[in-house]
């Protein structure tokens, strides 16, 4: 036979509201975790929740309305299109979306091409002039890049050559060298030849062309 308290609790639970965590809020303002049955058939007793306690599941996450609006703005698309796609199977909806993207790209390419034609007619060939400037800049840059690479390589070789000469001086003074240090000394002439091939002297300085030297002498 049910007691009056259990009867009132069960009736209150029936009219209670349930939160995400499963806690029941009774009409009188109190909160409880209702009784439940364990897998083994035993019953868990009803638990009264301390006033003011709110589990993490029931805590509402703050959302910035402005930020949410900006996120949804890019997903809005054309009104009515999403509704039609939702009715389609997933693979057909994806195909329709890809088709729309391709069409948009084609239109953009067509508009850009038309703008270029109009620009040629109105500018009276000015575009060709700009193209010529761009080509000359590219050619200058292409010529400068090998020179910069050669200078960089020459600096590396000159550094190795200085180290090898220092080791050679130590050897001549009677200092013992390690095998790898002796190998560097042997490569002195090879390093000089590599620098000469790049157009640099043994100090890593760029050589002056003979034609320029003659011009300088005749001018003097």
Report yes or no: 169 and 131 within 8 Å, Cβ to Cβ: no
Overall domain count for the chain: 3
To the nearest 10°, the Cα dihedral for 76, 80, 85, 88?
160
What pLDDT, on the 0 to 100 scale, is given for residue 138? 62
Helices (runs of H) and strands (runs of E) counted in the chain: 8, 6
24 inside domain: yes
pLDDT tens, residue by residue, 24-40: 788 887 888 888 888 89
To the nearest 10°, the Cα dihedral for 22, 26, 52, 64?
60
71 inside domain: no
Average pLDDT across the chain, whole number: 73
Closest listed residue to residue 148, CA positions, set 194, 198, 213: 198
Q: Show the domain range for 85.
A: 79-122
- For 205-209, which contacts have Cβ atoms below 8 Å and span 24 or more sequence positions? 206/151, 206/154
161 inside domain: yes
Q: What is the largest distance, in Å, between two alpha-carbon atoms of the chain?
A: 129
What pLDDT, on the 0 to 100 scale, is given for residue 7? 47
- CA separation (Å) from 188 to 140, 162, 191, 198? 35, 9, 5, 16
15 inside domain: yes
100 inside domain: yes
| Judgement on whether residues 209 and 160 belong to the same structural domain of the protein | yes
140 inside domain: no
Report yes or no: 188 and 168 within 8 Å, Cβ to Cβ: yes
- CA separation (Å) from 203 to 93, 149, 185, 198? 69, 17, 16, 13
pLDDT in tens, the chain (220 residues): 444 444 445 555 556 688 777 777 888 878 888 888 888 989 888 888 888 777 777 777 766 777 777 776 655 555 555 545 556 666 677 778 888 888 888 888 776 666 554 555 545 555 555 555 556 566 666 666 788 888 888 889 889 989 999 999 988 999 888 989 889 888 989 988 998 888 888 787 888 765 554 555 454 4
Q: What is the pTM of this model?
A: 0.32
66 inside domain: no
Closest listed residue to residue 128, CA positions, set 138, 137, 136, 120: 120
33 inside domain: yes
What pLDDT, on the 0 to 100 scale, is given for residue 166? 92
| Judgement on whether residues 101 and 154 belong to the same structural domain of the protein | no
pLDDT tens, residue by residue, 55-85: 777 777 766 777 777 776 655 555 555 545 5
């Amino acid at each position: 036979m049910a007691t009056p308290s259990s009867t009132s609790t069960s009736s209150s639970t029936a009219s209670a509201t349930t939160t995400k965590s499963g806690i029941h809020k009774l009409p009188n303002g109190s909160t409880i975790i209702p009784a439940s049955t364990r897998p083994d058939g035993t019953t868990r007793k009803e638990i009264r929740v301390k006033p003011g306690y709110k589990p993490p599941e029931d805590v509402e996450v703050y959302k910035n309305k402005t930020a949410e609006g900006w996120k949804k703005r890019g997903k809005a698309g054309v009104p009515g299109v999403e509704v039609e796609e939702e009715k389609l199977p997933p693979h057909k909806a994806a195909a329709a979306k890809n088709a729309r993207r391709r069409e948009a790209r084609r239109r953009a390419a067509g508009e850009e091409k038309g703008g270029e034609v109009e620009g040629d007619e109105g500018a009276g060939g000015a575009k060709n002039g700009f193209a010529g400037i761009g080509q000359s800049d590219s050619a200058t840059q292409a010529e400068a890049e090998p020179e910069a690479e050669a200078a960089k390589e020459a600096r590396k070789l000159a550094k190795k050559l200085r180290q090898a000469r220092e080791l050679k001086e130590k050897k001549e003074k009677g200092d013992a060298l390690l095998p790898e240090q002796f190998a560097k000394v042997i490569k002195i002439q090879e390093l000089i030849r590599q620098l000469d091939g790049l157009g640099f002297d043994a100090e890593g300085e760029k050589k002056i062309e003979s034609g320029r030297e003659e011009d300088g002498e005749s001018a003097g």
